[in-house]
């Protein structure tokens, strides 16, 4: 079993990275494999809204813009579950995650139960850092995304500097629990 962990912060030693590591430990405690993919190391710019707003993503469920999106999209299809972690900027997910999710949603959301994310569990983590501002709006954006791709909302977790210690444990335990739920 393979769980994909996606992080989207340029800070490789901050709260988002710590959340990714906690998720990885939890996945491994559940006896599954995982890999952490840092979106900020990939070239995935915003959707081009090709043609009249829809390119081949509407009917072919692929993106015609050639960059790192295609390889990551294929890897996602092979994963059994997902843990997506983002810092919170301006009350929403990071720009790198927003670009990726917008393109992924266009390729998968209108493919019905044939979409590669259909019925797969998601743990989504919003890490607004110090103030906690924007946590709920970011989790709400995650909720709409998971609904659009017909995934399963396994857990939605907010974490700040203030609650870091126990929320890292929560992320680890949620990841382990998700893996165990897939093996039953």
Percent of the chain past pLDDT 70, that is, above it, reads 100
Q: At what angle do helices 135-148 and 95-108 cross, to 10 degrees?
A: 20
Q: How far is CA 137 from the centre of its chain?
A: 16
Q: What is the pLDDT of residues 36-64, one digit of tens each?
A: 999 999 999 998 888 888 888 888 888 88
For residues 64-68, average pLDDT? 92
Angle at CA 40, nearest 5°, toward 79 and 107? 45
Cβ atoms of 126 and 89 within 8 Å: the answer is: no
* Count of alpha carbons within 13 angstroms of residue 184, beta-carbon side: 6
Q: What does the pLDDT read at residue 60? A: 86
Neighbours of 120 (CB within 10 A): 22
CATH number at residue 51: 3.40.50.360
Q: What does the pLDDT read at residue 85? A: 98
For residues 18-32, average pLDDT? 97
Helix, strand, or coil (residue 93): strand
**Structural domains of the chain, count:** 1
Q: Which domain holds residue 98?
A: 2-182
Q: What is the pLDDT of residues 77-136, one digit of tens each?
A: 999 999 999 999 999 999 999 999 999 999 998 888 889 999 999 999 999 987 889 999
């Amino acid at each position: 079993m393979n769980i994909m962990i996606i992080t989207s912060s340029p800070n490789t030693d901050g709260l988002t990275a710590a959340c990714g590591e906690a998720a990885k430990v939890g996945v491994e405690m559940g006896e599954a494999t995982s890999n952490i993919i840092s979106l900020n190391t990939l070239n995935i710019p915003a959707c081009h809204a090709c043609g009249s707003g829809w390119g081949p993503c509407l009917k072919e469920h692929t993106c015609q813009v050639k960059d790192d999106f295609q390889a990551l999209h294929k890897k996602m299809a092979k994963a059994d579950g997902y843990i997506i972690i983002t810092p919170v900027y301006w009350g929403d997910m990071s720009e790198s995650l927003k670009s990726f999710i917008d393109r992924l949603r266009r390729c998968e959301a209108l493919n019905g139960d044939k979409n590669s994310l259909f019925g797969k569990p998601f743990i989504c983590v919003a890490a607004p850092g110090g103030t906690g501002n924007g946590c709920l709006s970011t989790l709400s954006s995650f909720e709409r995304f998971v609904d659009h791709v017909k995934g399963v909302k396994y857990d939605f977790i907010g974490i700040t500097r203030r609650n870091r210690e126990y929320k890292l444990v929560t992320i680890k335990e949620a990841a382990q629990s998700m893996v165990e739920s897939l093996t039953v």
